[in-house]
Amino acid sequence: MDTDETSRAVELEIDGKKRVFDIDDPKLPDWVDDHAFTSGDYPYKKKLNKHEYKDTLEALQIELVKVQTWLGETGKRVISVFEGRDAAGKGGSIGATRAYMNPRSARIVALPKPTETERGQWYYQRYVDHFPTSGEFVMFDRSWYNRAGVEPVMGFCTPEQHAQFLEETPNFERMPVKAGIHLFKFWLNIGREMQLERFHDRRHSKLKAWKLSPMDIASLNKWDDYTQMRDLMLKETHTEHAPWTVVRANDKRRARINVIRTILNELPYAGKDKGAIGDIDDDIVGMGVEALRS
């Protein structure tokens, strides 16, 4: 529902109620503000204490430096895929992971839309080109899983291409794993009101405005479509050799800590300090689509 020809106000149905959300209105609606943090059945009522977060994160980042040393000495390789809805916190989680690692061998891959040449290639080809060489840790800020979410929802691929992707991806991912690459796949999950709050924050921040794209605006009333594609993706591509780790991410602090803990727990690096790593929060982290059905 548009209020006039220039307004970007949209009518949304949330929990059976009709809501109007105008991202250009500088005042965040109370129905968003009041429910954002606990939306999506988030198990906590407030953010992790700032000082606890900083101390815990620093200890984990020290462990990540050890990981990078181990990678350099052994030639091992790591791929970490970060997926989630728009504004789920992918970039922040990547930033916290890479903050004190040497950028020469800890790379971030965030690809733009494919070129005409890339559209004519094998679908996975442009992603494989960025896979790690000996000693590298590569983080994908979105990945080949564009074809499981954004593309089918927004009409950028055919239903046949989408179905083919879901069928072929488990076998595709088996190849780097069999070659010895450690592969992590993270789905950062946020509630609907939390996404709206973050979109609104981006729209009205001079520092973050670049993060809000026309695609984000177009997706406002496609929440259910994205949910359907997310669940199908997790169901079809969660495998023993390449499992999905689902992280509830309404609180960015808890999400970042648990992402890093997951990586550290799985890697057999030298000098691992299990006490510094701490325990995974089972209220935040789960595996596969079943993690979203609690």
pLDDT digits (tens, 9 = 90+) for 244-282: 999 999 999 999 999 999 999 999 999 999 999 999 999
Q: 10-292 falls under which CATH superfamily?
A: P-loop containing nucleotide triphosphate hydrolases (3.40.50.300)
In whole numbers, what is the pLDDT of the chain averaged over residues? 95
**pLDDT of res. 217:** 87
**pLDDT of res. 193:** 97
Question: Residue 68: exposed, middle, or buried by beta-carbon count in 10 A (0-12, 13-18, 19+)?
Answer: buried
| Torsion 213-258-273-183 (CA) sign | negative
Mean local confidence (pLDDT), 156-185? 98
pLDDT digits (tens, 9 = 90+) for 105-150: 999 999 999 999 999 999 999 999 999 999 999 999 999 999 999 9
Kindly list the domain boundaries of the chain, sorted by start residue: 10-292
Is the predicted pLDDT of residue 1 greater than 50, yes or no?
Answer: no
- The Cα–Cα gap between 60 and 264 comes to 8
Distances, alpha carbon 110 to alpha carbons 97, 234, 250, in Å: 15, 21, 22
**pLDDT of res. 218:** 86
**pLDDT of res. 12:** 94
**pLDDT of res. 15:** 85
pLDDT digits (tens, 9 = 90+) for 160-171: 999 999 999 999
